[in-house]
Each structure stands twice: as structure tokens, then as C-alpha cells.
Amino acid sequence: MNQATHSPTLDDNAPSELQSIIADSVERLFDEQVTPQVLASFDAGHTATALWQQVLEQGLPGALMAEEAGGSGASWLEISPVLRAIGYWSAPLPLSETMLASLLLSRAGLEVPDDPITLIQIGRLGDLSLSADGHLKGRAFNVPWARSSRWAVVANDAGQLALVDLRQSTVSLEAGSNFAGEERDILHFTNTRISAIGPLQIADVQEPVWLFGALIRACMLVGALESSLDKAVGYANERAQFGKVIGKFQAIQQQLAQMAGAIGAARMATQVALRSACEVLQAEAGDISSLAFDVAVAKVCAGEAATLATAIAHQVHGAIGFTHEHTLHFTTRRLWSWRDEFGSDSQWAEVLGQAAIAAGGKGFWAGLTQRQF
């Protein structure tokens, strides 16, 4: 069996020049533009149109696309600062979904629209089906940013990728949202015609939207987790009780250390998964990758860390952390939401557990060390 080709940059722990440029650019942009006022405006029902235009001007939606397809040619590791920044600053944008959709469309040889693009995986969250004559029938639940997106990328388990115009009369929408107020809608398709279809050119990936969707959510969770830790540490070093700041109390220090440890594990797990994603994009037909294993581990670690971190962050902040006026809820509401999207930690843990059981006692250690149950 062939082995997946390794990028020469993956053995270098230092960030590439492009990764540093992307990180500096997006962090500067979000730090200046994603203010509490912008987030409060989003909660009040206003879209962040100006912010979307700015990320569009910087070419971020097409960062994962090859340069010959009009993108930046960045790897998953190189765009990871964007996903982290979305989580850290709670950026209310369909950016991660559009980045992934643009990558998948370009890999399938399809034209990539300039508008925001949402994602649907057939066989997950609904009864949607794609007929042989190129029509969609059924429903798709929990579709991210459907109201803000003109287009949707639809993937099936047969290795096909379709692009569909959501503004057709045969598409109806039921508005919904997650805990953070981000659009998570229900779409109804009544014999809806697709605009284009092509074979997905990524080896050893069965459910691209579901798998890569879990990866982008894990990366966003890490960013939000780091934000929650910074907020908790900052508050603990400011809030005084019984004559000293609460950060000096051993019980608080123990909680923050536990929180930091869980976040560190999630960060490392996502880095491993990002490296596997880089390798998959370079692999050839027949190559076997550890991507599914690594993404499952990353989503489990990030989801479990989110549950722990939100509890500790609110405990450290006390009553003020539960008020709408404080900014903590912008982070924790996204942590509660994202941990369940594209598969919860318990769902991905079940996938790993079932695979380990299927491998049996003789295959368990080999599967674990090779990350290929």
C-alpha cells in the first residue's frame, strides 16, 4: 500500500513565512474590527457586512485554494491562524465554511463563487438525497449561515461534490440559530436543480464536509478556549477578595491550571489533525491517511475542553460573568455551540470506540500507534 506523501514543511516546527503573514494580518484585523460593539450589534440581528468585505479584500475565503485556481495556495497549517482568530475574537462570519467550500470546489474542478458559501453533507443531519439526474430532494438541518449564503456545497458518500444555488424557488428555509445567535437553518429542497457537479479529488476522504467541518470547528474551539482562559486569568488577577486578588488563592490557581492543561491537549490534537489534512491534500489514490483518526481525537479533546473551560471561566468570574454586559458570554456561547457541530465529542468518541472494538485485542495497539483504526 502506498504511503501518503509528506510535505517538506511539515517537519519544521517553525511557522512558514506565509503562516506568519496570515497570522499577523488576521489578528490585526480582528483585534481592531471585532469589538464588543460589533458583537452586540450582531446579537441584535445586524450582519457584519463591513467585516466580511474586509476579509474578502484580504483574500481569506480563498486562502486554501491553489494559486492557479485564484487562491493563496496556503496549507491547512498556514491558514490555522485564521480559524483560531475566528474563535478567539468570536468573529460572526461564514468565513471558515466559505474557506472549506472553496477548497472542495476547486479540488473538484468547479468554479468558486465570490459569495459566502455554506456546507451540507448528505447522510448527516437530514434526509437529503442527490438524484442521478442532478436534483436535490429532502431536508438539511443545522446548515451554517444559510441565510447569508447564496450557494451551498453538497457532498455525498459517492465522492461527488455539487454546487447549488439557494435562491431558487424550489428551496425554502426555516430560520434557526445556535446558542451564539449564529445562523443554523433548516433547508427544504423540492426537486432542486444543481448548478454544477464534479468528483472530489481528495484521497481517502469519505465525508469531506463532515470530516473537514469537524476539523475547522476544533480549530475554532481552540481559539475560543484560549480567549476564555485569557479572560479568566485577567479577571483573576484584577478581582480582589479578602485583601488580595483571587488569582493568588490556591483553589483558583488549581482550576486555571486544569483549564490550561485541557486547552493545551486540544491545541496539540488539532495541530496533529492539521498536519494530517496537509498530507491528505498531497496524497494519491490508494494512499491511507490518519486524518479520520486525528480529526476524531481533535474534536473529542476540543469538545471536552470546552465543557470544562466554560464551567471554570464562569466560576472564576462569578456573578458578573453571567451578565449580558460582560464580554465573557460571547466566547462561552460559541464554545457551547461549536462543541456539538459537525459531531459532538461524544459522537466522535463513539466512532473511535467502535473502531477500537472492531480492531480487537490484536489490532488495538497497532491501530492506536498508527492512528488508523
pLDDT digits (tens, 9 = 90+) for 186-200: 999 999 999 999 998
pLDDT value of residue 373:
66
pLDDT value of residue 365:
79
Instruction: Decide if pLDDT at 9 tops 70.
Output: no
Give the contacts of 10 (CB within 8 A, at least 6 positions apart). Answer: 77, 275, 278, 279
Q: Taking each helix axis from N to C terminus, what angle separates 208-236 and 95-107, rounded to the nearest 10 degrees? A: 150
pLDDT digits (tens, 9 = 90+) for 253-308: 999 999 999 999 999 999 999 999 999 988 776 677 899 999 999 999 999 999 99
Q: What is the mean pLDDT of the segment spanning 217-229?
A: 98
Strand partners, 199: 160
Instruction: Decide if pLDDT at 370 tops 90.
Output: no
Q: Which residue has the higher pLDDT, 361 or 227?
A: 227
pLDDT value of residue 70:
86
Q: 195 — phi, psi (to 5°)?
A: -85, -30
What residues does each domain of the chain span?
Answer: 208-370
Instruction: Decide if pLDDT at 241 tops 90.
Output: no
Q: What is the mean pLDDT of the segment spanning 103-116?
A: 94
- What gap in Å lies between CA 329 and CA 307, rounded to an integer? 14
Give the contacts of 14 (CB within 8 A, at least 6 positions apart). Answer: none
Q: How many angstroms separate the Cα of 50 from the Cα of each of 45, 57, 96, 112, 367?
A: 15, 11, 17, 22, 48
pLDDT value of residue 13:
63
313 half-sphere exposure, CB direction, 13 A CA radius = 30
Instruction: Decide if pLDDT at 12 tops 70.
Output: no
Backbone Cα Rg of the chain: 21
Residue pair 3/61 in contact by the 8 Å Cβ criterion: no
pLDDT band of residue 224 (cuts 50, 70, 90) is very high
Residue 177, classed as helix, strand or coil, is: strand
Percent of the chain with pLDDT over 70: 95
pLDDT band of residue 27 (cuts 50, 70, 90) is very high
Instruction: Decide if pLDDT at 338 tops 80.
Output: yes
Instruction: Decide if pLDDT at 4 tops 60.
Output: no
Output the CA torsion sign for 246, 252, 254, 256.
negative
Residue pair 82/18 in contact by the 8 Å Cβ criterion: no
Instruction: Decide if pLDDT at 369 tops 80.
Output: no
pLDDT value of residue 366:
77
pLDDT value of residue 255:
97
pLDDT value of residue 372:
76
Residue pair 87/222 in contact by the 8 Å Cβ criterion: yes
Output the average pLDDT for the chain: 92
| Nine cell digits for residue 83 | 480559524
Instruction: Decide if pLDDT at 331 tops 90.
Output: yes
Q: What is the DSSP string of 54-101?
A: HHHHTTGGGTTS-GGGTS----HHHHHHHHHHHHHTT--SSHHHHHHH
Instruction: Decide if pLDDT at 120 tops 80.
Output: yes
Cβ neighbours, 10 Å, residue 40: 14
What CATH architecture does domain 208-370 belong to? Up-down Bundle (1.20)
pLDDT digits (tens, 9 = 90+) for 86-109: 999 999 999 999 999 999 999 999
DSSP alpha helix (H) spans, the chain: 17-33, 36-43, 49-57, 76-88, 95-107, 208-236, 250-282, 291-317, 328-338, 345-370
Percent of the chain with pLDDT over 90: 80
| Nine cell digits for residue 60 | 481569506
Instruction: Decide if pLDDT at 357 tops 60.
Output: yes
Residue pair 7/278 in contact by the 8 Å Cβ criterion: yes
pLDDT digits (tens, 9 = 90+) for 30-87: 999 999 999 999 999 999 999 999 999 999 999 999 888 888 899 999 999 999 999 9
